[in-house]
Structure 1
C-alpha cells in the first residue's frame, strides 16, 4: 500500500477541519497548565485591578494628591487597568483554545487597546523617572508645572496611539486550511515592513525606556548617596564634638548622653533610609526589565521563525508566550506598589478611598517631598 501524504491523512481523519490542539501537541492544554493559569492570572487580575483603581479614585478624590508626579502615576494606573480588563482575561483564553471567539471588530479594538496600554505604561514610567531626576538632580529649583504635565500626558497618549496604528490596522481574523476556527492575528503585506515594525516596537517599548530609567535612577541614587554620606559625616563630627565637650567637662553628663543617643538614632535612620532608597531604585529598574524583556525576546523569536519553539511534534510557542505574558502582567501589581503605595499619604488615602470613608490628616510631619516617595 502506498504511503499517504500528510494532507491525505488529514482528509482520511477529518475531511472538514481539525482543532489546532488536535493537529499539534501543546502544553497549554494540559489540565495542570490550565489550573495554574486560572489561579495565577486571577491573582494578578484582582490585585492589579484593585490597586490601580484605588490609585485613580484616591487621586481624583483628594486634591492633595493631584500633583505633577501623581498625574503621571494616574496615567500609569489607567494603562494597567486597561491591561487588567483586556489583556489578562483574553490572552490566556486565546492561548489555550487557539481561537478567537469575539468577532473581527473586537479583534482590532482589543488588540489596539492592549497595545496602547503597553505603550502608555512604558512611556509614563519614563516620564516619572525623568520628572524625579529633574526635581532632585537636574533642576531642583524649577519643578514641572501641572500645565506642562498635562501637555506631556496628551503628547504621550497621542504618541502611543500613533505607535499602535500599524499594529491595529494589520490585525484581522484569518482562517487556515484544515484548521477549525478563526484566529485574530497580524497579516502584513510586506515581510520586511513587519520586521522593521517589530524592531521599532522593541526599541521604543523596551530599549529606550529601560535606558532612560537606568540613567535617571542611577543619577538619583548617586545624588542621594552623596547626600546621605554628607549627613553621616555631619553626624560623626557632632558626635566627636560631644565627646570632646564631655571630656572637657570631666565626665559624661546626662545631657551629653542624651545628645549622643539622639545622634546614634539619627545615624541609624540615615543608614536605613539609604538602604531603603537603594532597594526601591534598583527594584524600579529591575522589575521593568524582568517583566518586559522576556516577552519582547519571545515575540522577536517568533516573528523571526514561528517554528523556532517547536520540538518534534510539540509546539512550545503558546506556553512560552503565556509565561512571558504573565511576567509582563505582573507589572500591573508591582506598579501601584512601587509608585503609589510607598508614599505614606497616598497609601492611607487609597485605603480610605477603597473603603469610601473620610480621611482626616492628623499629622503633617510627613511632607510629600521627592525623597519620601523613594
Structure 2
C-alpha cells in the first residue's frame, strides 16, 4: 500500500496533490496490472499447493515444514488482501474502497510481513539447534504450533497502530484551487499520527525489528551452521555411505532455506529504502515519478510471496512429484483415468526409490536413506 504517512499540515507536499499531476502512461498502467496479476496468481496458487501438500501427509508435520507452511499462509493473506487493494489505489490515485479497508489493508500488510520474517527467524533457530547442538533439546511439532500462535499474536500487536492512525480524508482534494472542482468528493487513505516524532519512531522501529535485526540474527545462525558443517567435512568423507547421504541432504535443506531468506531480504530491500527516504527526506523523491518508483519497489517486495513455493519446488524433487500426483488425482476426478504413484514429501532434493509390489521378485531395489526436513 502507498506510504501516505503525513500530517494534514504537509498535504501540499504530497506528490498526488498537485495542480499539474503527471498522468500515467497506458503502457505503464498495463504493465502494472499484468505484473501484479502475475504475482497474485503465482503467490496464491503456489503457496496454496505448498500448504496443502505439507498438511496432506501426517509425516510431513514436522517443525520446519509447519513453519514453512506458516510463511506461505502469511503470503496468501498478502495476496488476497493487500495486492488487489494496492493495484486499485495506485491506478485510481484515490481511495474508493471504504474506511474499513483503509484501516485493515496496512494492518494486514504489516502483520503479514512480521509473521514472514519471524517464521524465517524460527526456522533458522531450529536448524541452528539441530546442527550446532544435535544431542541437546529438540523442538517437536507441538512447539512449532505454539510458536506460530505466538508469532501471529505478536505481529497483530505490532501492527495495531495502523488501525488507529489510518484515516480516510477528503481534505487534499477539497483544497485544490481550481474552479468547479470535480474532485471534491474524492478521498485518500493516509496515516495521521499525533506528531511527526511518533510516526518516525514507529516506522524506524519497524525497519529495525521487522527487517534489519531479524536478518542479522538469521545471518549469524546460518553462518554458525556453515562453519560447523565445514568443520565436519573431513569426518563425513571418512564416514559410511549412509552418513554421507544424510550430510548431503542436510546441506541441501540449508541451501534451500538460505535461498528463501536471501530472496526475502533482496525483495524487501528496495521498499524499505523507499520508505526510509520518504520518512526522513521525502524531497529526494521526484514528485512525478513518485508513484512509478513506489510501484516498482512495492512490486519487488510483493514478489517475495512467490519465492517460497518457487524455491521449495525447484530444490525439492519430492515436492514436484507430490504436486504431479495431486494434479493427476484432479484429472481422475474429472473422469480422466490416470495411473500414478504417490510420493511422500519427506526429503529435499533426493530421489525416492519406487518399489512395485507386483514385481518384487524381478527387481532388487536399494532405497536410499534420506533426512526429513
**TM-score (norm. length: structure 2):** 0.76
Specify the alignment match of 2:357 in structure 1.
none
1:201 aligns with 2:203: no
Structure showing greater Rg: 1
Specify the alignment match of 2:47 in structure 1.
52
Q: Which runs of 5+ in 1 are unaligned?
A: 1-18, 239-262
Higher relative contact order (CA 8 A, sep 6+): 1
C-alpha root-mean-square deviation of aligned residues, in Å?
3.2
Pair 24,229 (structure 1): closer, same or farther in 2 beyond 3 Å: farther
Q: 2:33 aligns with which of 25, 35, 38?
A: 38
- 1:141 deviation in Å? 4.6
Q: 1:184-207, CA deviations, whole angstroms, 9 ceiling, x for partnerless residues?
A: 111101111110000111011101
Write the mapping of 1:170-249 to structure 2, written as runs, cut at 5 A: 170-175=165-170, 176=172, 177-178=175-176, 180=184, 181-232=186-237, 234=238
Q: 1:35-75, CA deviations, whole angstroms, 9 ceiling, x for partnerless residues?
A: 22122222211111111001111223211211111111111
Specify the alignment match of 2:62 in structure 1.
67
1:102 aligns with 2:97: yes
Specify the alignment match of 1:257 in structure 2.
none
> What secondary structure, in the 3-state scheme, does the structure 1 residue paired with 2:283 have?
coil
1:294 aligns with 2:290: no
Q: Distance in 2 between matches of 1:300 and 1:165?
A: 20
Pair 211,340 (structure 1): closer, same or farther in 2 beyond 3 Å: farther
1:308 aligns with 2:290: no
Higher alpha-carbon deviation: 212-221 or 282-291: 282-291
Q: Distance in 2 between matches of 1:351 and 1:182?
A: 48
Higher alpha-carbon deviation: 347-356 or 45-54: 347-356
Higher alpha-carbon deviation: 188-197 or 213-222: 213-222
Q: 1:129 aligns with which of 121, 124, 130?
A: 124
Answer yes or no: is the 8 Å Cα contact 2:249–2:370 preserved in 1: no
* Structure with greater helix share of residues: 1
1:336 aligns with 2:309: yes
Pair 273,66 (structure 1): closer, same or farther in 2 beyond 3 Å: closer
